[in-house]
């Protein structure tokens, strides 16, 4: 079952997102864990850079997975 995220009418999340027993890290937590936050403090944020994703295993959910990521993380 899919539910619509009220913050963005284009964001649709699978129903399991309302209850997910897994502990996931936010981008900010990952930045801190790998020391990337220090680069951000220096003004190196990656703004304007492009990210290329190679779907070498032809994962048929990759596009949907990225859409969910961008809806919740931005």
CA dist., res. 69 & res. 52, Å (int) = 15
Asked if 62 contacts 68 with a C-beta cutoff of 8 angstroms, the reply is: no
CA dist., res. 18 & res. 3, Å (int) = 9
DSSP of 2-33, one letter per residue? EEE-TT-TT-EEEGGGGS--S----HHHHHHH
CA dist., res. 44 & res. 40, Å (int) = 5
- Using 50, 70 and 90 to split pLDDT, how confident is the model at 19? low
pTM beyond 0.75: the answer is no
pLDDT tens per residue, range 25-73: 788 888 899 999 899 999 998 889 888 888 878 888 888 888 887 887 7
Tell me which residue of 9, 13, 72, 31 sits closest to 1, measured CA to CA.
13
- Using 50, 70 and 90 to split pLDDT, how confident is the model at 11? low
């Amino acid at each position: 079952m899919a539910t619509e995220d009220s913050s963005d009418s284009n964001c649709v999340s699978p129903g399991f997102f309302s209850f997910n027993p897994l502990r996931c890290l936010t981008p900010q937590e990952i930045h801190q864990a790998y020391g990337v936050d220090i680069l951000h403090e220096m003004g190196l944020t990656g703004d304007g850079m492009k990210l290329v994703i190679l779907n070498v295993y032809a994962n048929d959910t990759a596009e949907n997975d990225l859409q969910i990521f961008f809806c919740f993380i931005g």
